[in-house]
Structure 1
Amino acid sequence: MKVIDPKSTSTKDLHQYLLGAIAPRPIAFASTVDEHGNHNLAPYSFFNCFSSNPPILVFSSNRRVSDNTTKDTLHNIMQTREVVINVVNYNIVRQMALTSVDYPSEVSEFKKAGLTPVPSDLVKPMRVEESPAQMECKVKEIIPLGEEGGAGHLIICEVVRMHIQESVLDEDGKINPHKIDLMGRMGRAFYVRASGESIHKIFQPFNVPGIGFDALPEGIRNSRVLTGNNLGMLASLPEAPAQEAIDAVKQEPAVQEALTTDHPKRSLHLLAQKELAKEEKGRAASIAWLSEQL
């Protein structure tokens, strides 16, 4: 493996290694206003949600590597202690990218990017009307992490009001990931669209312990067919399949056909893999455990 020593690697290169490895990252489209009433809008991908009670968002505004200066967003937040965090979906990602340009502080990125500012309810910065979710925040704390170029400032924000476009909600009022169509930041110039085939459901009950990899029979654990993800699904089962379930699947035509092949164990593992792709973990386990009885 390539070994990176932060102390002997340039900040510019280290920055890209970190961003390439720690991805995708959500994008905080931060709206602020300065003491003169100039509105600023800028994207930050050092960002996430860290608490729901109280509702806390944290993003970092880093010092520029080139000249060690700070950005308008940080200046404005230090003055007003307020910010609106707008999320970025596919429909506005190129407009968002335009706001990353270093315009003078008196220039409104809303105008440059063709985005619509709308008044907030509880804070002075404007919201981005086109963003599907907008969070009005009061800044609780700003923590500087260093004094040289590349050093961040953790901006800890408490959400005091949230606005969500109803068009991105399901019938039960929950956010639908396909409808909100969020964008994530990768390394360099790469982004990821979090919708469509990129979305996967992973059902893993947190209050029911799985049997674990160590409880999988050796032949299954060392299968040349079943992948790590396949094994992870089997290992998440609360118990191994009962003999009755194994005997029942043995009578099924597809299983009978697999048993007559030249490599029945491999054929059963392939069949189990197909069942796992359909989230039929119980059936898959019965088929896989049957292979251990050959």
Structure 2
Amino acid sequence: MQIDFTTLAPADAYRWLASTVTPRPIAWVSTLSADGRSNLAPFSFFQVISDEPPTLMVNTSVRDDGSLKDTLRNVQETGELVIHLVSAAQAERMNATAVWLPHGVSEIEHAGIDTVASERVAPPRVAGAPVAFECELAEIKPYPADAPNCYLIFARVLLAHIDDGVLLDQTHVDPARLDLVGRLGGSQYSYTRDRFSMTRPK
């Protein structure tokens, strides 16, 4: 089978990409608006893009009506965000925050998510998240530049909170204890519980 992506409608291109490029890590992003209203939303177009400086990238799509999502609006206004990784234990709560709410309505309050204060940035952290990265905005890039349907948020990591319970020792994370979920196509998700090792050749 061959698929000519130059002829596909955007919805079909998304379906094929999202169901083949898997599993994808999930960024659970907390932000605050300039007037202090909280937002929490999951994004699966997400990845590490640099270790020097340490930088993460989150893709936020434009809504069907052309409006910007609260996450992007808030980051544009304040330049701060917290990116959490999602454990299996928090999957249902993460999914609850994927609901579309009116602008300015807090998913944290709607879904009853417990939070704790961050140290370097204003947005709160999700309590119990195995990993949380406090970040400052490095850059926002509209894509495609001439008619953007999404915006790439480049977030520089300032401080990471890693639950002691997921550590193997002081320099290594135990994947089994981390127990994350990943995004597949449609409504499907995966666990990171089934693993194998390979040694990179020299």
TM-score, normalising length: structure 1: 0.66
Higher strand share: 2
User: Which residue pairs with 2:62 in the alignment?
Assistant: 63
Aligned partner letter, 2:3: I
The reply to whether residue 131 of structure 1 matches residue 139 of structure 2 is no
Q: CA RMSD in A?
A: 1.5
C-alpha separation in 2, matches of 1:172 and 1:29:
25
User: Which residue pairs with 1:39 in the alignment?
Assistant: 38
User: Which residue pairs with 2:167 in the alignment?
Assistant: 169
Task: Give 2:195's match in structure 1, choosing from 191, 199, 202.
Answer: 199
Structure number with the bigger relative contact order (C-alpha 8 A, sep ≥ 6) is: 2
Q: Percent identity?
A: 36
Superposed displacement of residue 12, structure 1: 1.0
Q: Name the CA shift for 1:79/1:176 in 2 (closer, same or farther; >3 Å).
A: same
C-alpha separation in 1, matches of 2:29 and 2:170:
29
Superposed displacement of residue 70, structure 1: 1.7
Superposed displacement of residue 105, structure 1: 2.8
Q: Could you give the per-residue CA deviations for residues 75-122 of structure 1, whole angstroms, max 9, x where no partner exists?
A: 000000111001101001111011111112332211222221111111
Q: Could you give the per-residue CA deviations for residues 8-59 of structure 1, whole angstroms, max 9, x where no partner exists?
A: 2221111010101111110000000001110000000110111112111011
User: Which residue pairs with 1:29 in the alignment?
Assistant: 28
C-alpha separation in 1, matches of 2:118 and 2:6:
44
Three-state SS of the structure 1 residue aligned to 2:35 is: coil
Three-state SS of the structure 1 residue aligned to 2:185 is: coil
- Equivalenced residue count is 201
Structure 1: unaligned runs, 5 residues or longer: 209-294
User: Which residue pairs with 1:19 in the alignment?
Assistant: 18
C-alpha separation in 2, matches of 1:128 and 1:74:
19
Q: Name the CA shift for 1:67/1:105 in 2 (closer, same or farther; >3 Å).
A: closer
